[in-house]
Structure 1
Amino acid sequence: MMSHHVITVFLIGYSHLTSFFRVGAIVLALHDASDVLLEAARVFKYSEHELGASVFSGLFALSRLVLHLIYFPFWVIRTTGCDLM
């Protein structure tokens, strides 16, 4: 988990140095938006509310799928002008 945070800070710094700070902020927002739902699912699981944990786990999976596999490659990467696809 520590390496995840170190790499994230490096990427944010690098996006700032290369004048891609707006893109870096959008990428950070897209990747962190689903983490809120994951933490909510954990809170419900720890408090033994299985229905809430199941609902938020499903919402987390759906948001992760949409944000990481649809919006990120087809919206963020495409609008930055990268010819990866």
Structure 2
Amino acid sequence: MPRPCGIGRPRKKPDSLTGDKAYSSRANRALLRRRQIRTTIPEPRDQQANRKRRGRSGGRPLTFDADHYKRRNQVERGLQPA
């Protein structure tokens, strides 16, 4: 996407983001949702338990694509310094 004034680097945003459980905070997910970036971040067990404990008001379970998450590990191993 070109910049309006033509100066600087073009602005880009990723289509999706894959992260580990450490990035599963409500603030991170809200920011990514606001920017319309799909996420593949597993939900930690404590967050699952809190959501289930709240019942209906706990909200819907998060979507999670396990196959997409497995590929994350392959990318990380490929980027390790030699």
TM normalised by structure 1 equals 0.29
| Structure number having the greater helix percentage | 1
Q: When the two structures are superposed, what TM-score results if normalisation uses the length of structure 2?
A: 0.30
Q: Which has the larger radius of gyration?
A: 2
